[in-house]
Every structure is written in C-alpha cells, then in structure tokens.
C-alpha cells in the first residue's frame, strides 16, 4: 500500500497464514495482481504468533502439509508426528521462499477498515497507518483463532511482574519459537485450561519454581501420542501422500481418523470398553474422532465415553479431590474442543503445581503482586493468560467492513454471522471469507479445509472472468437457507448444547450461536461442488 497514490490490485488478501499464502499462490497462477496485507512481521499466521512453549499440532504433521506441490511434499521432512510450532513456522517460511510469495505480501500492516465502492465495483482497504489500496476482490484469510481475548479483571494493569496472552508470547529473536521468558525457578500463574492452557501448563510445570493454574472449567483431555518420525516412517509418509489426502477428503474433520459407524449403545460393555482403551492413548484425536459415531449426538452414548475418560483422569491424578476438580461435570466428552496432552494430569501430582478452582474461589482482582481470589492472594512473577479467542468471527468483525448502502458487517452479524456457504455475505459483493463463520473452518484440519475453500474461490473467480462477470454476492434467499441449515445441522449434535468458543459463549456479550458448519467435510465438499456445477447457484452474478 502507499500513502501517495492508491494502488489498485485485482485482489487483496488479508492474512499471510496457511490460508492466505495458498490463496496468493492460486490467484497469482490465475494471472491476477494480488496484494496480501499482514499485520505480523512475517508469514505464518497462527504459527507466527503462538510461540508459547508446548505449542504444536493436534493434527498429524503429514496431514497438515500443503498438498498442492509434490516437490514440496517430498523435500520437506517433518521431524515429529505432531509438529512443534517452531518447525511449522519454519515450514511456512520455506513455502513462502520456495514459491517466491513474499514479494506480494506487505508485512507489519494491520487493516483497520474496508469499504465497498459500488460505483467503481471495488473494495478500498485502509490500514491503521492510513495507507489505502483498492481491489475488485477482497478475501479475508484471517484464521478462526486469531483475535486473542484478554479477560477483564480489575487491577490487571497494576501487576508488577511479566504478563501476556499466550498468543503474544514474545518471539525468540534468533529462532522460530518463543523467547525464554525466565520461567525457571519463578512463581508462575496461568489462567485458562483450554487446548492452549493444557499445552503450556505441561511445559511451564517442568521448570517453574511454582505453578498456580487458575481453572474456570476443566476440559476433557486425552493423550496426544507424539514421538519422533523415524527414517522408516518418513519414507512411508512420503510414499503415501496421495492416500493420506484421499483419506482426509472422506473423513468428517479432514483428518486421518474415522468414526466407528456403530452406535456405542449397540455393542456389549466389554466391546465398548475395549475400543475406548484402544483409542485412548492416541495418536491424536483417535478417541474423539475414532470412537462410535453417535458419541457427539446421543447423550447416552456420550455419557458412556465421558465416564470412561473420567475414570482415566481418576487413575492418573493421585489426589482424588484434585481429580474431581479436573473432571468436567457440565459437559460431555468431545462436546468442546478436546485438548491433547502428554502428561497433563500427572502435572497435578507435582509438588510445585497448585490447581485453583476459580468457580469455588473466584478471582477478585489482579494485584501488583499476583492474583487475589476470594480465598487468598497468590504471589506471582509471571502471569500467563491462556484465555482464548473471540473465535471465528472476531478477527473479521474487528475490521470495520462496510458493504453496499453503508451496511456494516459487524451490525449485520450482531445476532450471529449470516453467510452463504461460509464464504460470502449478502450486501458485501466480492468479499470472500475463507475459513470463515458457517464454513468448515474450525471442526477441521485447517489446511485441508483451507485448500478446499481456496480452490473453490479461485475456480469461482475464474468462472466470473470467463463469463465477463465482475460482481458476485449471495441472494438473500440462499443465505437465509444456509443460515438455517447450519443451525439445523449443529442442533442435531451435543456440541450446540455446550458452551464453548464454537458457540461464541466464551465471549462476554457475543450472541450465542453455533459458528461453524458441523455437518462434516465430505458433506461440505459435496455442497460446494454442487453449487459450482449448477453455475454457482444461489449467487447473484453481474
């Protein structure tokens, strides 16, 4: 972007993470002039920011790789089955270099606003610096979890130690990971026990003098089953990429795990227990995605698996009182995102770790010295907020997006997002929201659903060009029907009944609504293909 002349492009992509990089590659291939605008100082999105110790994939590394380049697949060797953040960031930088993507990316530039100019049929994007640029197509590639959320606790600004959100963990100036913030021997507090908290707690507990975990609600965590990839496994992975990606295409969450099609209620207790035992150690989401198909739709089936995982927690945590605090009582297994772990529960057997249940003894304020609950003050040197994100919609609505007739996207979405296919919203022509709300973004192995989104949008833009069309937006009827369908599909699951970031209920004041397509990726893929085959049915093209 420029402060002098307003630069014009065919497409502007916001975000240079996994999705944005691939969209840039595809649109450039199509011959479009493209500008990617990125707030960070480098590529990588979620992997650029989340540099906290313990941050790693919950997807199998090989299933997370970009699938579009055979050469890339063969030259890159993942070292662990669940890649740690520094390696993933190195991978994404390798991709950016290999395909010469950086030349079209403007870093350190945060988009403040985007306005649709109906007369010129184009979007004008404005950065926080005041710089502007214009393009026919505006594509958000912001990721579902990129708007970090700090809690509002009285006194936060008075804390004299070091405090930050996990998303903003300081970078190691000499490497791809996080800086050593001096946890060793120190008094550390962590607020939050979601997937992030569970990862960082295990690492910090290794060296902290004392670690106090402030838990509001526990989650059901299961073993990751990580390990190094041997030379033999590496060769096998590289020889079987087509099968790996084919498998992902047919699985619910675009992962290598497939649910057992039987009901948990139709098999004997012994058979059920044997399957749970087999899947519990991992790898990855084996138990969540590989157990019986009805555990996320049938309360009785869910009770059985929840009871199994509760027993595992009781076995692993020595103090029965602490074990009970770590067992969720307000939701069943898998109805919120399952954090994966290696020794999470054993951490609470360590003498340097304290679990504070803040529903029993709420945090009253942050003091200059630490955290004051209704029970006592915990003195801390470092306070880590693992408090999550304004997920799925937050990163989009934080940008002041104005469509036709002055319509603001955040006003339109005030009662929940409204889109067609998760990709466009009526009144916002030529704005595409990749891995956005009501799409397949977050119940998915992100690169797989990102590739699906990117390839579909690229084909759509090609179709428009080939048909001399310059403007696309969904009809109101198509959008209304999709909003209803997303709700209906979600309502058939136990996930919609549970408070989580999937429903937006983790954000104070956010309208509770299921934010993502919960019908699985094979169905979503089919719907997208069908819409395209019918000449982009449901879209108004002009």
Chain residues that interact with ligand NA7, rule: CB under 6 A = 145, 151, 191-197, 216-217, 337, 358, 386-389, 501, 506
Residues forming a β-bridge with 126: 113, 132
Provide, rounded to whole angstroms, the least separation between the CB of residue 539 and ligand NA7.
Answer: 30
Provide, rounded to whole angstroms, the least separation between the CB of residue 226 and ligand NA7.
Answer: 16
Positions of E strands within 301-430:
340-341, 353-357, 363-366, 370-373, 377-379, 382-385, 400-402
Q: How far is CA 265 from CA 192, 303, 358, 492, in A?
A: 34, 11, 36, 18
| 3-class state of residue 414 by DSSP | coil
Phi, psi (rounded to 5 degrees) for 343: -140, 35
Provide, rounded to whole angstroms, the least separation between the CB of residue 57 and ligand NA7.
Answer: 10
Tell me whether residue 337 or residue 525 sits nearer to ligand NA7 (CB atom).
Answer: 337
Measured CA to CA, the distance from residue 326 to residue 143 in angstroms comes to 30
506 within 8 A of 194, measured Cβ to Cβ: no
Place of tokens 């490497």: 175
Tell me whether residue 284 or residue 427 sits nearer to ligand NA7 (CB atom).
Answer: 284
Structure tokens at 325: 């605090």
Provide, rounded to whole angstroms, the least separation between the CB of residue 153 and ligand NA7.
Answer: 7
Cis, peptide link before residue 429, omega less than 30° from 0: no
213 within 8 A of 205, measured Cβ to Cβ: no
Tell me whether residue 216 or residue 410 sits nearer to ligand NA7 (CB atom).
Answer: 216
Structure tokens at 73: 């697949």
52 within 8 A of 196, measured Cβ to Cβ: yes
Tell me whether residue 396 or residue 426 sits nearer to ligand NA7 (CB atom).
Answer: 396
Provide the 8-state DSSP code for 230. P
Provide, rounded to whole angstroms, the least separation between the CB of residue 337 and ligand NA7.
Answer: 3
Tell me whether residue 137 or residue 389 sits nearer to ligand NA7 (CB atom).
Answer: 389
Tell me whether residue 397 or residue 506 sits nearer to ligand NA7 (CB atom).
Answer: 506
DSSP for 95-107, please give it. HHHHTT-GGGEE-
Strand 370-373 relative to strand 363-366, pairing:
antiparallel
Provide, rounded to whole angstroms, the least separation between the CB of residue 219 and ligand NA7.
Answer: 7
First to last CA, the chain: 28
Tell me whether residue 115 or residue 387 sits nearer to ligand NA7 (CB atom).
Answer: 387
Provide, rounded to whole angstroms, the least separation between the CB of residue 386 and ligand NA7.
Answer: 6
Under the phi-then-psi rule, with left for phi > 0, alpha for psi from -120 to 50, and beta for the rest, what region is 45?
left
Residue nearest to ligand NA7 (CB): 194
Tell me whether residue 178 or residue 474 sits nearer to ligand NA7 (CB atom).
Answer: 178
Q: H/E element holding 369?
A: none
Provide, rounded to whole angstroms, the least separation between the CB of residue 342 and ligand NA7.
Answer: 16
Tell me whether residue 82 or residue 539 sits nearer to ligand NA7 (CB atom).
Answer: 82
Provide, rounded to whole angstroms, the least separation between the CB of residue 121 and ligand NA7.
Answer: 37
């Amino acid at each position: 972007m420029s402060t002098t002349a307003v630069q014009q492009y065919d497409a502007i992509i916001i975000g240079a993470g996994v999705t944005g990089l691939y969209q840039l590659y595809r649109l450039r291939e199509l011959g479009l002039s493209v500008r990617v605008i990125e707030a960070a100082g480098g590529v990588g999105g979620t992997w650029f920011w989340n540099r906290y110790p313990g941050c790693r994939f919950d997807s199998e590394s090989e299933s997370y790789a970009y699938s579009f380049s055979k050469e890339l697949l063969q030259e890159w060797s993942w070292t662990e089955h669940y890649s740690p953040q520094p390696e993933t960031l190195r991978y994404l930088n390798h991709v950016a270099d290999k395909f010469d993507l950086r030349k079209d990316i403007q870093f350190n530039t945060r988009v403040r606003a985007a306005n649709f100019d109906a007369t010129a049929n184009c979007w004008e994007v404005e950065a926080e610096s005041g710089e502007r640029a214009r393009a026919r197509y505006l594509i958000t590639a912001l990721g579902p979890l990129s708007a970090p959320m700090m809690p509002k606790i009285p006194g936060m600004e008075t804390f004299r130690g070091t405090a930050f959100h996990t998303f903003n963990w300081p970078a190691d100036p000499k490497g791809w990971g996080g800086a050593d913030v001096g946890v060793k021997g120190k008094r550390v507090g962590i607020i939050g026990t979601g997937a992030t908290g569970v990862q960082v707690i295990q690492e910090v507990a290794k060296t902290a003098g004392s670690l106090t975990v402030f838990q509001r609600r526990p989650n059901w965590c299961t073993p990751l089953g990580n390990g190094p990839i041997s030379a033999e496994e590496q060769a096998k992975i590289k020889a079987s990429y087509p099968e790996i990606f084919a498998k992902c295409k047919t699985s619910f969450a675009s992962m290598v795990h497939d649910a057992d099609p039987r009901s948990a209620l139709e098999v004997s207790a012994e058979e059920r227990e044997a399957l749970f035992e087999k899947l519990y150690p991992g790898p990855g989401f084996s138990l969540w995605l590989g157990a019986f198909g009805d555990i996320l739709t049938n309360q009785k089936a869910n009770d059985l698996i929840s009871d199994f995982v509760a027993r595992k927690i009781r076995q692993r945590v020595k103090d029965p009182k602490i074990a009970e605090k770590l067992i969720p009582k307000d939701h069943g297994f898998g109805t919120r995102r399952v954090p994966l772990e290696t020794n999470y529960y054993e951490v609470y057997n360590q003498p340097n770790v304290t679990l504070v249940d803040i529903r029993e003894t709420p945090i009253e304020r942050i003091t200059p010295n630490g955290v004051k609950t209704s029970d006592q003050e915990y003195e801390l040197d470092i306070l880590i907020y693992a408090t999550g994100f304004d997920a799925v919609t937050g990163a989009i609505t934080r940008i002041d997006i104005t469509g036709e007739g002055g319509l603001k996207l955040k006003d339109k979405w005030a009662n929940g997002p409204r889109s067609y296919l998760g990709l466009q919203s009526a009144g916002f022509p030529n704005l595409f929201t990749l891995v956005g709300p009501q799409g397949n973004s977050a119940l998915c192995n992100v690169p797989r659903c990102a590739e699906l989104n990117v390839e579909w949008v690229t084909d759509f833009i090609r179709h428009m060009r080939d048909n001399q069309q310059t403007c696309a937006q969904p009809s109101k009827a198509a959008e209304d029907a999709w909003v209803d369908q997303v709700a209906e599909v979600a309502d058939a699951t136990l996930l919609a009944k549970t408070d989580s970031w999937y429903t937006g209920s983790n954000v104070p004041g956010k309208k509770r609504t299921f934010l993502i397509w919960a019908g699985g990726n094979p169905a979503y893929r089919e719907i997208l293909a069908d819409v395209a085959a019918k000449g982009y049915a449901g879209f108004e093209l002009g």
